């Protein structure tokens, strides 16, 4: 798994957990993503970059569909903290 694939998976998992029927429900994939995030976070060069990267990509994806507001970013951040860390 690389960062781009992780971002795509993260988007799908979040969509499902937020109530979208177009999202991804896969417990195994969610655990693999958690492990990927934990391993990436341990690398010194990623320590403070990974979380902002996910937020940036989340916003970018929303820009092309329907622009996200601050409340959407907060909801994503809270979900990420709860589900991915």
- CB-based contacts of 80: which residues, under 8 Å, 6+ apart? 10, 14, 51, 54
User: What is the pLDDT, as a whole number, of residue 48?
Assistant: 65
And the tokens for 32?
Answer: 């693999």
User: What is the pLDDT, as a whole number, of residue 73?
Assistant: 83
User: What is the pLDDT, as a whole number, of residue 17?
Assistant: 95
User: What is the pLDDT, as a whole number, of residue 34?
Assistant: 92
User: What is the pLDDT, as a whole number, of residue 37?
Assistant: 87
User: What is the pLDDT, as a whole number, of residue 65?
Assistant: 67
Weakly modelled stretches of the chain, pLDDT under 70? 44-48, 62-65, 67
- CB-based contacts of 31: which residues, under 8 Å, 6+ apart? none
């Amino acid at each position: 798994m690389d960062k781009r694939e992780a971002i795509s998976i993260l988007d799908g998992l979040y969509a499902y957990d937020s109530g979208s029927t177009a999202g991804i429900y896969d417990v195994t994939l969610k655990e693999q993503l958690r492990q990927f995030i934990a391993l990436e976070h341990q690398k010194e060069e990623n320590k403070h970059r990974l979380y902002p990267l996910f937020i940036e990509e989340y916003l970018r994806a929303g820009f092309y569909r329907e622009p996200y507001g601050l409340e959407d970013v907060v909801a994503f951040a809270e979900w990420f903290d709860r589900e991915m860390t």
